[in-house]
Structure 1
């Protein structure tokens, strides 16, 4: 996915009220940017760090900027949680993901029972519901999910189990918008219920994909699949952030 227009550079002053951030632009102007990430954003918040924003030309919007990425340890980390939905949909549509590259049709935001999933794909042989999550919390070499309790995420997993039971394929797809990690895992210490539900979902046949994305001011692209480790860490030090 390429950004349609150049991003606006600045530095983070602070994030507050979850969905707002004050940013000082290069020209000294201080603006309020919308933060799409409802989680804690642990390990990807650093006041004074470089950030990039999208300028939004919508007179109905209260905030004229959307926060896209932040530089942490010399690398860009994507913080816009809407981006993964777009890049996964495009990659499935264009048959770029091994294991999900046989579908002839792909749609976004399709409902099953009382849940709306990010991508629905099908071919003549099967149909597949895919839920997409953004992951950014670094713990050692791991990136862990979630960074805050997510009852909505747990509900999606429970519905994916029912998708599988109905005879369709069900996929949980995690997009990691940072490059300084090598394994995907679960944050048992933050949301044990979510972690246990994901393990139950996998045992029921729900598939897990974890893909690392390359984050640049020009665009964000899926680059490689990461190993998935759903075991409870025996070394509690893995939880230290």
Structure 2
């Protein structure tokens, strides 16, 4: 994925009302950015950090600028635009860049499935192969040298684990794919200290046959792509 034009830099003043953030440009102008992230953004929104933002050509948007990447004082790059995770995974699947998920000829998005009326992020299909259901989760929380998911209690995430477990038990492939959008994260673990029930369900899902994968994105002001497999540690 390339940013065209490249992202522009600014300094974070504050994030507020969840969807908005004020920044100051190198020229001294103050801008209000749209923030497409409803999560806690722990460690991703510290005042004074560098914010890289894109600008929409749309004339109807109230806030034409979008917060894409945080560059922390420690030098880490973090993609905070949660919409990018699925875009990156889709791009990687189409390019056959994820070895564990290659060899499929059909790719569908947002397919309804399950007893709890869910929508799977991606459904891979091929002749003479079980269907492959892929749920994508964005990982940006770094604490004590490790990446954690989730960064807040997620009943929706718990539901997805129950649905994926049933898919695996029914004979199809079920994959939970962590898109690691933080340059400092080298492995991913369930955040028991944040959502103990999610952590329990994740272990149960793996025991039911759900495959756990994690890929880290290479991030810069000109583009990003998933290019590095990292470990998922349940212990």
Alpha carbons 2:96, 2:103 under 8 Å: kept:
yes
Taking structure 2 as the reference length, the TM-score comes to 0.93
> Is residue 118 of structure 2 the alignment partner of residue 115 of structure 1?
yes
Residues 77-226 of structure 1: pairs in structure 2 closer than 5 A: 77-113=78-114, 114-124=117-127, 125-226=129-230
Contact 1:93 1:104 in 2 (8 A): no
Matching residue of 1:235: none
* Matches of 1:210 and 1:122, distance apart in 2: 21
- Confirm or deny: 8 A CA contact 1:143 1:185 kept in the other structure: yes
Tell me if the contact between 1:20 and 1:32 (Cα under 8 Å) persists in the aligned partners: yes
CA distance in 2, matches of 1:37, 1:197: 24
Tell me, yes or no, if structure 1 residue 36 matches structure 2 residue 39. Answer: no
CA distance in 1, matches of 2:185, 2:91: 24
**Cα RMSD for the two superposed structures:** 1.3
- Matched residue of 1:86: which SS? helix
Any idea what SS the aligned residue of 2:48 has? coil
Provide structure 2 residue ranges, at least 5 long, that are not aligned to the other structure: none
Give the CA deviation at 1:80. 0.9
Runs of 4+ in 1 over 4 A off after TM superposition: none
- 2:93 counterpart SS class: helix
CA-CA distance at 1:156 after TM superposition: 1.2
8 Å Cα contact 2:8/2:221 also seen in 1? no
Is the CA contact (8 Å cut-off) linking 1:107 and 1:120 kept in structure 2? yes
Q: CA deviation at 1:26?
A: 2.4
Match of 1:196, SS state, is: helix
What is the CA distance between 1:203 and its match in structure 2? 0.8
Gaps of 5+ in 1: 232-241
Give the TM-score, by structure 1 length: 0.91
After TM superposition, give the deviation of residue 190 of structure 1 in Å: 0.5
Mark the CA change 1:152 to 1:60 in structure 2 (over 3 Å): closer, same or farther.
farther
Measured in 1, the distance between the counterparts of 2:165 and 2:60 equals 39
Distance 2:149 2:18 in 1: 18
Equivalent residue pairs, number:
231
Cα shift readout 1:22-44 (whole Å, capped 9, x = no counterpart): 11122222222121222111122
- Is the contact between residue 147 and residue 190 of structure 1 (CA under 8 Å) also seen in structure 2? yes
